[in-house]
Amino acid sequence: MSGLILTLKKELKVPLDASIISPTNLVGKTIDEVKNLELWEGNKKVKINEIFHVEGENKEEDLTIKLVGDFSKARGLGFKMNGGKLIIDGNAGLRLGEKMSGGLIKVKGNAGSWVGSEMTGGTIEIERNAGDFIGAGYRGGRKGMKGGKIIVKGNCGVEAGAWMINGIIKVYGNAGIFPGIHMKGGTIFIKGNCEGRAGAEMKDGKIVILGFLPSVLPSFDIDDIKDSVKVEEEKISGPFYLFTGDLNEEGIGKLYVSINSNPQLKFWEEFLERVI
Amino acid sequence: MSEILIKNGFVFDPLNNINGEKMDIFIKDGKIVDKVSSKAKVIDASNMVVMPGGVDIHSHIAGSKVNAGRILRPEDHVKDFEVKTKVTRSGVGYSVPSTFTTGYRYAKMGYTTVFEPATPPLKTRHTHEELRDIPIIDKGCFPLLGNNWFIMEYLKENKLEECAAYVSWLLNAIKGYAIKIVNPGGTEAWGWGKGISHLDEEVPYFNVTPKEIVRWLCKINNILNLPHPIHVHTNNLGKPGNYVTTIETMDAVKDLSKDGKVSIHVTHVQFNGFAGTSWLNLASGAPEIANYINKNTHVEIDIGQVTFSDTTTMTADGPFQYILYLLSREKWVNADVEAETGAGVVPFRYKKSNYVNAIQWGIGLELALLIKDPWKIHMTTDHPNGGPFTHYPKVIAWLMSRKAREKTLNKINKNAKRRLDLPGIDREYTLYEIAIITRAATAKSLGLKNKGHLGVGADADVAIYNLNYKSLDPSKDYKLIKKAFKQTAYTIKDGEIVAKNGEIVSSSKGKIYWVNSKVAEDIQKSMLNNLKMKFEEYYTVKMENYIINESYLHNSFMLNVQSEV
Amino acid sequence: MEKIINNVVCTVCGCCCDDLEVKIKDGKIVEVKNACAVSLSKFQNYNGKERIVKPLIKENGEFKECDLKEAIEKASKILAEAKYPLIYGLSLTSTEAIGKAVELAEALGGVIDNTTSVCHGPSLIGVHDIGSVTCTLGEVKNRADLIIYWASNPVFSHPRHLARYTVFSKGKFRKERRERKLVVVDVRKTATAKLADMFIQVAPNQDYELLSALRMAVKGEEIYLNEVAGVPTSKIEELADLMISCEFGILFFGLGLTMSLGKSRNIDAALSLVRDLNERTKFLIMPMRGHYNVTGANEVIAWQTGYPFAVDFSQGYPRYNPGETTTIELLTRGECDAALIVGSDPAAHFPVSAVKHLMKIPVITIDPHKNATTLISTVVIPTAITGIEAGGTVYRMDGVPLECKKLVEPPLGLKSDEEIITEILVNVKKLKE
């Protein structure tokens, strides 16, 4: 295949600031130019070719970069990328695809926390598990991802989509607590189980949970029972309890919870009449 | 020690009536002198403007609420950082910069003295720890006294002399510089979640009024002969129609002007210059306030200009900050201080398209342009409330150039533009007047005899700007004005070159100024005797631990002031 | 020769009581008045057999005594050569010392963090998102008629808190116990709960749910469930009524909230609850900071760098991201290659995965006492104890700064934390040139 292949020369011991590694930054550069780019390894500046073997060719406008090795200590891969493909044949570290606006990132292993933090476009696919705060934002900023798509085929940690504004997050495994906390828009889809507190303090947006959710917060109202719900263009079959909230934030967010997976939530049905 | 000769610059030194004259400035041993030897380092200031270093009379740079602002807003710092150099420490900026960055950025702009205008006495040790960590500039702080329990009780019991002795003791105890009053009585009412909305309303439990508090502290200021008048953030800040309260407050101390001197400094008047009855019909109260100030000699103000940015509001006006939270639904920090005062911090974004913000922008400029005597005006943004201090060059450009104002007027909310008088105001500030409102008048108001001018004996704090005064048309070339005031060609502090073309070349500690107020020993003793028991009843610290030793300040400058009692 | 030093600031917990009376005879502390049991225990035992008096360097697995110069040089070399060194601890020393540690971290291009990250870090993280409605302790003493301790047991952790600042204190507007109400929310009936007018037992790890329900009740919204977090809804509504109808309420909270399921979001909910209450009455919140200067550490690190803890200087300027730059996560991911521990014992308290990495890297410890961390260190530098043998500024849990005194001379002329860190800094700067 055409494109660049960067293979780790050695095990990373201290954190690597890998934010320069994205198609956006490397496109159009010769191999030598790429080799001479600098990045921080802990508190020392090093050149790319001290950390990576660089091979391949950089001809395409739409550059594909393949990374080979364990990148668990590489932070910020794909930072601000706006096109092209970044494939990681291994694990990825923190802040993968931070502020991304276009293109595709694929991770064959696990990814750390803050996948797609403040992203506005593009797609990130994680084959295995992801850490906490996927699709969220920086502390105190009160704004998470604004667009784009994050797909985690394994499990994700806590606070997926915290302060999310728009975009779509899909987790095919299980999710930790507080998915969609302080959410303002967008969609979070959890195929597996959720540890709890889904949609806490949300103002708007949509959360769909197909698996087990131990309880729903007391600040949510039960609105209806729905046969199905749309996630992107796909129709997901229910039936679902539809909750709205978080009332503590005057929220009008929608929380869809699978009825079949959650017999312990049946008691909420008695409150359905009250809403009418 | 080192000598410097600044050659051929166009000097603006209003306190010595020098208006753009081409002349040399001589520096030796950290002071301005009248000649130097041939060994002096020569700075060629040809085609440049030379001014005394800037003196900022009101900027929130240090202390508990400023730090609460820093901690509140990691997202404010992340985009604006300073990498360490051989000479400078690293830091972060934007609206609540870290301490090292604060000192460096002020020095780069040619400012050499800055005062923190609001420190709660109980926590002033914190303020001094931060001031110690602000490099280069000289500093001081104003203790908050307008909601102080002891003062309100002395007032109720009409014990003027004893209260004067208390204030004198307090200034010494916490190493403060001037009497600061914020929302007199109002912040105490806020201790119960309540507010005060007019000058004759009684403070719950203490039963004194804001007007009484202001007059009382003005009298004490006179008795103690303090170098700076009472520094007042009036009641009803941020409320439509509040310009009336502002004028009433100014008028309340007209008769207390001692020897024709200024009896009140009203701060960030823009926030207290609102006309109208609601946010929908908010208008500028600047013409009315300017009219009052033009007719009177006992008042001076600083403007508190809005500069249209994302910034952080922080004041000791707890109730106002709560209202701002309710309006904006931003994050909100509140920090009441026992027996003394309060504080609040709320991030805020001023937008040109927003009717209210645009009116606010207009009010600040109208105040400066309609008040005839520049000696009565100080240029501030009430950093960071109206905007970060790094925006001062914008304000200077607006004041010096009608064209610069027009450019912004064409971008602001159209209804606001229609409502303001500003579009019809032709006046443009001269460089001489800018020198007055950014250094000469402020230094004079603070009673800093060796600052704000370049006469022999003054501290060698000098700012050299890249402005070819003779070939400059500031009205047209406002962009050059902005550029020049953003970073000096040279900033000199105590006779050392600290900044060159936007780079800090040498750092230093800067002094902390405080007033050592002296009253008669027997009055002091008797006051302390009466104070001791109540002190430990009201506070949760011991009196001994409240007091800050001079050595704590590391580099202190004590101003001895003898009182009338 | 005997003398009495008054108004001594205690350097144990976040109360920072400043009314201690210390009697000194022949250069030794013989009596302390007004100290609580915990404070007294520090004064009585600080010079026990765990006290280290000579610097130590580990060679071939064995500790050898050495002089200070040698220890400092070795420590400086280890730190200066590291690519991602960590400075941690710092809550049991003065702000002057911590400020020097910040300068050292900047010179090293490393990370500086303090015990906040395992204690009230979540509280600060909550504040970043919501803000905080708070006050100094004297406001509580003078005005509060409703005091709530949530997930905090001050009778054990802050023994004089109730007497000096809350229910047993005498204030200008509340002179007697009966003028105040005490509510305790905890997972079990603690010693503090036994003193309460109302005790609410919350199911473990369900504080967030309870806070959520309480917010609903305060807003006047109906709670459908009969019970939330093991608490009957009627009880929740009773508490909400108490909160709304008080004149001045305060919510103190402890590690039970910061370290149970939800962490910073538990605090987020508590901060939001208190903020919302201000639409009805005067209500404030305060974290029960544990160590006597953990608050000060946050303050000084924040004014010098913009951020309150976990600051990464590796690229020459301050960067902050708890979870990325905090100590336990850095150690668990195995990312540090040297550590300087000041006045803390992470080897004893941290999760095994973090300690495992700490044992792989060279560790320098500055501490007056032997502990698990000194055991695994390469260099151990003993120090004068702040508040007893060295002075300095400390910040009470409510942000009030106090100056603690030097009461007696340290043994064998031991230096203070500030002096030792400064010497390391000077050496490091020379090595880095």
Say what the ipTM of the complex is.
Answer: 0.97
Mutation pick from C251, C303, C321 vs chain B, by most beta carbons of B within 10 Å, is C303
Which pLDDT does position A274 carry in this prediction? 62
Query: What's the farthest any 2 CA atoms get from each other in chain B?
Result: 69
The answer to whether A250 contacts chain C (CB < 8 Å) is no
Which pLDDT does position A61 carry in this prediction? 81
Query: What's the farthest any 2 CA atoms get from each other in chain C?
Result: 71
Q: Measure the CA–CA gap between A65 and C120, rounded to whole angstroms.
A: 42
Computed over every residue of chain C, the mean pLDDT equals 97
Name the residue among B173, B81, B57 with its Cα closest to residue B446: B57
Which pLDDT does position A1 carry in this prediction? 53
Residues C230, C153 share a domain: yes
Q: Nearest CA of chain C to the CA of B94: how many Å?
A: 10
The answer to whether B539 contacts chain C (CB < 8 Å) is yes
Tokens of B392: 């001062």
Amino acid at residue number C24: I
Fold of B3-52+453-504: Urease, subunit C; domain 1 (2.30.40)
* Domain end marker among C287, C306, C322: C287
Q: Given an 8 Å threshold on Cβ–Cβ distance, is C143 in contact with B192?
A: yes
Q: Given an 8 Å threshold on Cβ–Cβ distance, is C128 in contact with A140?
A: yes
Tokens of A66: 């393949």
Q: Is residue C346 part of a domain?
A: yes
Mutation pick from B72, B75, B326, B346 vs chain A, by most beta carbons of A within 10 Å, is B75
Q: Is residue C50 part of a domain?
A: no
Residues C303, C222 share a domain: no
Here the CATH number for the domain that contains residue C280 is 3.40.228.10
Residues C235, C340 share a domain: no
Q: Is residue A238 part of a domain?
A: no
Q: Which residues of chain A neighbour B78 with C-beta distances below 8 Å? A: 138
Q: Which residues of chain C neighbour A133 with C-beta distances below 8 Å? A: 323
Q: What is the DSSP letter of B94?
A: T
Number of domain units in chain A = 1
Which pLDDT does position A2 carry in this prediction? 73
Residues C420, C335 share a domain: yes
Q: Which residues of chain C neighbour B99 with C-beta distances below 8 Å? A: 303-304
Residues C362, C339 share a domain: yes
Q: Which residues of chain B neighbour C7 with C-beta distances below 8 Å? A: 542, 544-545
Tokens of B447: 């009673």
Q: Given an 8 Å threshold on Cβ–Cβ distance, is A43 in contact with C262?
A: no
Q: Which residues of chain A have a pLDDT value below 70?
A: 1, 273-276
Domain residues for A13? 1-99
Range B35-57 average pLDDT: 97
Distance from CA of residue B236 to its chain's centroid? 19
The answer to whether B72 contacts chain A (CB < 8 Å) is yes
Helix, coil or strand: residue B238: coil
Contacts of A125 (CB under 8 A, 6+ apart): A104, A105, A106, A107, A151, A153
Range B165-178 average pLDDT: 98
Burial A199-217 (b: 16+ CB within 10 A, else e): bbbbbebbbbbbbbbebbb
CA-based angle B328:B332:B338, to the nearest 5?
135
Residues C177, C255 share a domain: yes
**DSSP labels, C270-320:** HHHHHHHHTTTSEEEEEE---BTTHHHHHHHHHHHHSSSS-EE-TTSS-EE
Taking CA atoms, B484 is separated from B469, B544, C292, in Å, by: 11, 49, 48
Which pLDDT does position B4 carry in this prediction? 98
Q: Nearest CA of chain B to the CA of C360: how many Å?
A: 31
Residue B387 predicted with pLDDT over 70 = yes
Q: Is residue C6 part of a domain?
A: yes
Q: Which residues of chain C have a pLDDT value below 50?
A: none
Mutation pick from B131, B312, B540 vs chain C, by most beta carbons of C within 10 Å, is B540
Domain residues for C140? 121-287
Name the residue among A31, A84, A34 with its Cα closest to residue A61: A84
Tokens of A61: 């406008």
Residue C261 has its nearest CB partner, among A17, A177, A215, at A177
Provide the strand spans (E) within C26-145: 28-33, 56-59, 62-65, 85-89, 111-114, 131-135
Which pLDDT does position C391 carry in this prediction? 97
Q: Which residues of chain B neighbour C144 with C-beta distances below 8 Å? A: none
Q: Measure the CA–CA gap between A231 and A182, rounded to whole angstroms.
A: 20
Q: Given an 8 Å threshold on Cβ–Cβ distance, is C315 in contact with A201?
A: no
Range B530-536 average pLDDT: 94
Identify whether the C-beta of residue C407 lies closer than 8 Å to the C-beta of residue C24. yes
Identify whether the C-beta of residue B419 lies closer than 8 Å to the C-beta of residue B359. yes
Q: Is residue C30 part of a domain?
A: yes
Q: Nearest CA of chain A to the CA of B75: how many Å?
A: 5
In chain B, residues 77-106 whose CB comes closer than 8 Å to chain C = 77-78, 81-84, 89-92, 96-100
Contacts of B172 (CB under 8 A, 6+ apart): B515, B516, B517
For residue B219, the tally of other CB atoms under 10 A from its CB is 18
Identify whether the C-beta of residue A99 lies closer than 8 Å to the C-beta of residue A38. no
The answer to whether A43 contacts chain B (CB < 8 Å) is no
Q: Is residue A60 part of a domain?
A: yes
Name the residue among B559, B547, B459 with its Cα closest to residue B514: B559
Name the residue among C364, C304, C298, C336 with its Cα closest to residue C113: C298
Identify whether the C-beta of residue C17 lies closer than 8 Å to the C-beta of residue C40. no
Q: Measure the CA–CA gap between C342 and C92, rounded to whole angstroms.
A: 8
Q: Is residue C80 part of a domain?
A: yes
Helix axes B521-538, B149-156, angle to 10 degrees: 120
Q: Measure the CA–CA gap between B559 and B512, rounded to whole angstroms.
A: 11
Helix axes C294-305, C95-108, angle to 10 degrees: 50
Domain boundaries, chain B: 3-52+453-504
Q: Is residue A242 part of a domain?
A: no
Here the CATH number for the domain that contains residue C98 is 3.40.50.740
The answer to whether A52 contacts chain C (CB < 8 Å) is no
If DSSP states are collapsed to H, E and C, what string results for C182-246?
EEEEECCCCCCHHHCCEEEECCCCCHHHHHHHHHHHHHCCCCCCCEECCEEHHHHHHHHHHHHHC
Q: Which residues of chain C neighbour A138 with C-beta distances below 8 Å? A: 321
Range B538-561 average pLDDT: 96
* Domain end marker among C266, C287, C308: C287
Touching C: which chains, 3+ CB pairs < 8 A?
A, B
Tokens of A241: 């309890």
Name the residue among B371, B358, B370, B350 with its Cα closest to residue B420: B358
Q: Measure the CA–CA gap between C52 and C70, rounded to whole angstroms.
A: 16
